Amino acid sequence: MTTQTTASETPSVPAAGTPTGLIGLPPALGRALATAGAVLTIVSTFLSWTWTQDFPGDLTVYGYPGGLQVLVLIGAALTTLLALASYGVKGLKWLAPAGADPALKLAALATFATAWFTVIAISVELGGVVNLEPGGYFVAVTSLATLVGALALPFQRPEPDPVDPEDSGWEQFRHRAGQAWETVKAAFAADRPRPVGKLPAYAEILIIVAVLALALTVFTYGIGTEYDELFVGFLITAGFGFAALNKSGLIVHASQITSRHQNITICGAFVAAALFPFTQTDDQYATLGVYILIFATVALGLNVVVGLAGLLDLGYVAFLGVGAYAAALVSGSPSSPLSVHFPFWAAALVGAAASLVFGVLIGAPTLRLRGDYLAIVTLGFGEIFRITANNLDGTSGPDITNGSNGISSIPNLKILGVDLGAQHDVAGFTIGRFANYFFLMLVITAVVVLVFRRSGDSRIGRAWVAIREDETAALAMGINGFRVKLIAFAVGACLAGLAGTVQAHVTYTVTPEQYYFAGPVPPNSAFLLAAVVLGGMGTIGGPLIGASLLFLIPNKLQFLGNYQLFAFGVALILLMRFRPEGLVPNRRRQLEFHEEAEAPAVLGKTGA
C-alpha cells in the first residue's frame, strides 16, 4: 500500500531556477548576518590590532583608525549601506539602482580580503599571530561573518547541462568544474535593474562634481600611499569596491549622467586634475603625476590608431622618441650638434611635425597591409628607430643623436618668462619643478583630448570606425581606405611627438633605451597598447585611466622584486577575463562582448 504526501508534507526543496544562496543559510538569516557583521567590522577598526608600532600605520591606538584600518572601515561602511539598501531602507535606494544583493557580496568580499590581508601581514612580518591584539582577532571573525552572510543571499542559479556518460573522467571533471564556476559567477550577477528617474540639471551637475571630487580623492590617496602594505590594501579595497558599485548600477547611472553633460564633465575633470599638485606637500608625487600625463597623452594618441581606425601598431613608442629627439636637438642642449635654442612653442611644433613626417613615411608603404602583417611591420619600425638612434654617434653613422649617450643636459623650459625648473609660490602653496611641468602637460593633454574628440565626431572619424568594423564593406561604400588609414597614422604620430617634446625636457636626457617595445618601465609600446585595450578602446577616458593604472601600479609594486611582473600579469589577466571591454567601455564594444546579456532587452524593445 503506497502513501501519498500532500504538498504541505513535501520537504522544502527549492525548485530548479529558484533564487537561492551560494551556501545553505536562509537568505533572511544571511542578510541579518551580513548587516551585523559589517557593523561590528566598523567597530573593530576603532580597536587595537597589534601591540607594537613595528607594523606600519600604527595600529595600536584605540578609538582612532590608522593605515589599513581606514580601508577596512571604508569597505565595512559601504557594505553596511548596501545591506541597508537591500532591506529597502528609504533614502538608500539610489545606492543600488540595479539591486543591492550582488553589490553587497562584492563589498563584503572587499572588506574580508583587506581585513585578512592585514591580519596575515601582521602575523608574517612580526613573527606570528601572538602579535595580534583582540581587535585583530575580532576583525577577522566579523569580516568572515559578513562574507558568509552575503554569500547566503539569493541569486538565480543556472540550469546545469547534462553530463555525457560517454565522456572520460577528466572531461566529466572539467564539465562539473565549469558548472561550479558558472554558479559562482551567477552568485555575483546583477539583479533586474530598477528604473531611475531623471534628475534636474543642477542635481546632475552636483553629482558630476561629487564624482570628480571622489575620483581626485581616490587617486591622491593611491599615489600617496607611504608603504607597500597600504598600497596593496588600497588595490584590494578600490578594485572590489569599484566592482560592487558597478554591480549596484551606480556606475552605469553616473555614466549616463556624465554622458548627458560631456562638456561639463571634461572641463570638470581637468579642473580636478589641476588641483592635484595643491594636494601634495612636496614635489615627490607630482613627479609621478607628470609621467602619468605623458603616458596617458601618448596612449590617447595611440587610441586614434588602434581604437578608432583599428590598426594594430606595435611600434608606436618610436613616434614619441622622434618628437623627443627633435625637440632636444633644437632646445639648446650642449650635446646637440645643432647650435640653436628654439622657444618652447617652436620646439613643440618641430617635434610634432617630425613625428608626423615619420608617420607618413612609415605608413605610406606599410598601410596596405592588414592585421598581423601590419603589426609585424610596425614592430620592426620601432626597433629600427631605436637601433638607428643608437648608431648615429659619429662612428657607426653621422653624429646626430650622440649614440647610446643620448642628448643630455636639456635646459628647463621658460614660457612667457616663467622658468618651469624653479619653484613658485601660488596662493600660499609651493609649486615645484615637476608640478610646473604637470600643468604644462595638462594643457597639452587638453589639446590632445580636443583633437581626439573633434576628429572622432567628424566625417573622417566615422570613416575610421567603418574601416575598423569592416574594411571590405567600407571600401565597397566608397571610402578610400589607404588615405583614411594614413591620416589616422599621421594624427596619432603627431600627438605622440607633441608629448615627446615635454618628455625630453622633464627627463633632461633622451636616450635610445627609453623606447623599447617592452622595456622595464613605461612608456613603451607594449604598455601603451595595454593602456588602450584595458582602459577602453575608442573612448577618451579609457586610455587616460588605463595609462594611470599601468604606470602607477608597477611603480608601487617594486617591493615584489622579481615577482613584480608576475603579479602585474595576473592582475591584467583577471581584468581582461572579467571586463574584456575595458574599464571605460565604448558602447559598441560593450555590446560585442556582452551580446547575450543585451539581446533580450533589445529584442523586447523591438517587439514592443
Model pLDDT for residues 352-377, shown as the tens digit of each residue: 999 999 989 888 888 888 778 888 88
The owner of cell 599615489 is 223
pLDDT at residue 326 in the model: 92
Give residue 106's pLDDT band: very low, low, confident or very high (50, 70, 90): very high
pTM for the whole thing?
0.78
Report how far residue 279's alpha carbon sits from residue 285's, in angstroms, rounded to the nearest whole number.
10
Q: Does residue 11 have a pLDDT over 50?
A: no
Q: Does residue 10 have a pLDDT over 70?
A: no
Greater pLDDT, 153 or 23: 153
Greater pLDDT, 412 or 430: 412
Alpha-helical segments (H) within 457-562:
459-469, 471-476, 481-507, 525-535, 541-556
Q: What's the pLDDT tens digit per position in 419-478?
A: 788 777 777 777 888 888 888 999 999 988 888 888 888 888 888 888 888 888 888 888
User: Residue 429: enclosing H or E segment and its boundaries?
Assistant: strand 429-431
Q: What is the mean pLDDT of residues 388-414?
A: 84
Which sign, positive or negative, has the C-alpha torsion 521, 523, 526, 530? positive
Residue 583: other Cβ atoms inside 10 A = 17
CATH classification code of 283-596: 1.10.3470
What is the torsion angle, in degrees rounded to the nearest 10, for the CA atoms of residue 234, residue 239, residue 241 and residue 245? 150
DSSP state of 474: H
pLDDT at residue 171 in the model: 57
**Amino acid at position 12, single letter:** S
Greater pLDDT, 146 or 575: 146
Report how far residue 597's alpha carbon sits from residue 608's, in angstroms, rounded to the nearest whole number.
18
The per-residue pLDDT of the chain, averaged, comes to 81
pLDDT at residue 36 in the model: 94
Q: What's the pLDDT tens digit per position in 202-251?
A: 888 888 899 889 988 998 888 888 888 899 999 999 989 988 998 888 88
pLDDT at residue 72 in the model: 95
* Domain residue limits, the chain: 27-159+174-250, 283-596
**pLDDT above 70 covers what percent of the chain?**
84
Q: What's the pLDDT tens digit per position in 260-282?
A: 888 888 899 889 988 888 887 77
Greater pLDDT, 75 or 335: 75
Q: Coil, strand, or helix at residue 508?
A: coil
pLDDT at residue 176 in the model: 59
Give residue 8's pLDDT band: very low, low, confident or very high (50, 70, 90): very low
Q: Does residue 565 have a pLDDT over 90?
A: no
Alpha-helical segments (H) within 330-370:
344-366
Q: 12 CB contacts (<8 Å, ≥6 apart)?
A: none
User: What cell numbers appear for 248 in the block?
Assistant: 549596484
**Amino acid at position 176, single letter:** R
Report how far residue 397's alpha carbon sits from residue 403's, in angstroms, rounded to the nearest whole number.
9
Q: Coil, strand, or helix at residue 20?
A: strand
pLDDT at residue 167 in the model: 54
Q: Which of 12-16, 127-131, 182-186, 255-259 bottoms out in mean pLDDT, i.e. has the lowest? A: 12-16
Q: What does residue 56 show for φ and ψ, rounded to 5 degrees?
A: -65, 145
Paired sense of beta strands 418-419 and 414-415, if any: antiparallel
pLDDT at residue 46 in the model: 95
Report how far residue 422's alpha carbon sits from residue 283's, in angstroms, rounded to the nearest whole number.
12
